[in-house]
Amino acid sequence: MKMPQLLILLLTILVHVGDGFPTERQRRDKHASWDDVNVVAHGLLQLGQGLKEHVDKTKAHMRDVNSKLKVFNNTVAELEKKQQEQDEALRAQRAGGEGEQERYRLLTEQAEEVKLKVGEVKKQTEDITSRMDRLEEVLTEPIQDGNDSEHKTVSFIQRLMISQNRRIDQLVEKIQQQQDKLEKQSLHLQALQTKIAHKRVKSHRRRDEEMALTGEAEPIQRESGLAQDCHDLFMRGQKASGIYTIQPEGSQPFSVLCQMTPEGGWTIIQKRQDGSQNFNQLWESYKNGFGSLKGEFWLGLDNIHSLSKQGQYILQVELSDEAGQQREAHYKFQLDGEEKMFALHLEQESPSGVQEDIVIAGASGLPFSTADRDNDLAADINCAQMLSGGWWFSSCGESNLNGKFPRRPGQLRKHQSGRQSMFWTIRAGQSSSLRTTLLKIAPASKNL
């Protein structure tokens, strides 16, 4: 109740009481009634003060709620602005055909940021709703000794809260719609990326087919920062052995296993140690390579040729037999391309020490042979079929480092069916059954 209304009510009561006491005696007789009036008046004043304090607190709560809503509205405006920026970015992306991956990454980051903002807004909304509910509970409590004006004020506040709640629900729904739209746009971007990738693959295939028909070769662009071989990596400061990506001149990049020594870097082209990899493969497998760089592998004739054609290389052969004896040899090394059946050219360097015990594998210029490509020098015999694996065979007898791996210690080559285990012929004419082999190459000019 407002203070002027309380004072008017109090004066009215006092006037009516004064009219009821015309004489002094009558006033003395009803002296006790004045005390009652004072009590009533004092109670009414306290009631008015209490109602005024209650209204002041309610107004403070409403100001707090309004400030929260303003912050909420500003957040929603920022989200709408970001959505407009994302729509413009999407329109620009559809108009152009380049940079899809970078734009998709940026849109993804913006989408994540929007999701975080939405989470914060939802949390603030829940907090505001909770405070509004508590305020509504306080305002809906029955006020004893109230009047019609106070009930109207409470009703107005309740209507205001209902309106604000409705607006908050609308904003939350709008934010949810924006989030759904972002997710749909993200899916659309992924679909566009997939479609573009498929078109690029088809375009490359069509271009390769056209070049194959016209006999033209597309120049290969060199990726910046890639070394030409493992020794090039060593010269750039890489001293740790391991798996790296290289790109020889005129070749596509591929991964290799590098062995770094104090003198330089070696590129390993073949490794056998435990028989985990089957080396009885056909021409295409030996051409492209097979196995695991972390275990046993064959680097691939195409890759070896791309290294060899860069200049003069040295081939180092490291062998160990079942008795634990180790041998090694160095050769000047060159490998022709597929048009010459990957013919191997070797020239042994300064034979001395253990190198005297290792025979060069046949005459220089031997072509590579597999079971499905019989290029050996033996008449009416397919050495690759008889001995297993692919190799530079002459008459099937000198060596085969890609034969079957011996499964039992002490198993000699002659015990293997069809002489199919890997072996190497020593100077005395005897063949040695092997347990491990390692073939690696490095530039001859580096004096490794």
Tell whether pTM > 0.85. no
| CA atoms of 124 and 295, how far apart (whole Å) | 57
Q: What is the pLDDT of residue 294?
A: 95
CA angle in degrees (0–180, nearest 5) for 12-17-20: 135
CB–CB of 296/310 below 8 Å?
no
Distances (CA, A) of 445 to 63, 92, 351, 406: 84, 54, 19, 37
Count the Cβ atoms, other than its own, within 10 Å of residue 413: 19
Per-block mean pLDDT, blocks of 10 residues, the chain (448 long)? 56 56 49 65 73 78 79 80 79 63 71 76 77 66 53 75 84 84 75 65 60 54 78 94 95 96 96 94 96 96 97 93 86 94 86 45 78 88 90 84 76 48 68 86 79
Q: Is residue 346 within 8 Å of residue 360, measured between CB atoms? A: yes
For 38-63, the pLDDT digits (tens) are 776 677 777 777 777 877 887 787 78
Write the pLDDT tens digit of every residue in 414-444: 444 446 678 877 665 566 678 899 999 999 8
